[in-house]
Amino acid sequence: MDAIIESGRKIWEGEIDFEGQRLVEMFSTTILTTAGIIGFMVGFATQNIQYTLWILLAGAALAFVVCVPPWPFYNSDPVKWLPAKKSGAVSDINITVDGKKIQ
């Protein structure tokens, strides 16, 4: 039972990386723009604003389902952070930036 709870916690914890954030932004912009254009065209062609609003609502719902949950493919390139440096202690981590060592 604990394994099931832990796997559920991992799924809904909300961890996405920077590449996942870029994907979410691209998906939401594309879905909402496409729904807006299609909704406008259908509403204009039929002269019925209800069709436009329903298409926009469907696009917003689709964007919500695609973008809000932290799907696993949004965390496919996790950031590898450096370990914390203890204050006052000599570190054995050597970081080189542009040929200069940073401590």
At 63 the pLDDT is 97
**C-alpha–C-alpha distance, residues 15 and 65, integer Å:** 16
pLDDT tens digit string along 51-67? Answer: 999 999 999 999 999 99
- The ranges of the chain with pLDDT < 70 are 10-12, 87-93, 103
At 89 the pLDDT is 56
Q: How many residues does the chain have?
A: 103
Instruction: Look up the pTM and report it.
Output: 0.69
At 92 the pLDDT is 65
Residue 51: is it exposed, middle or buried by C-beta count within 10 angstroms (0-12/13-18/19+)? middle
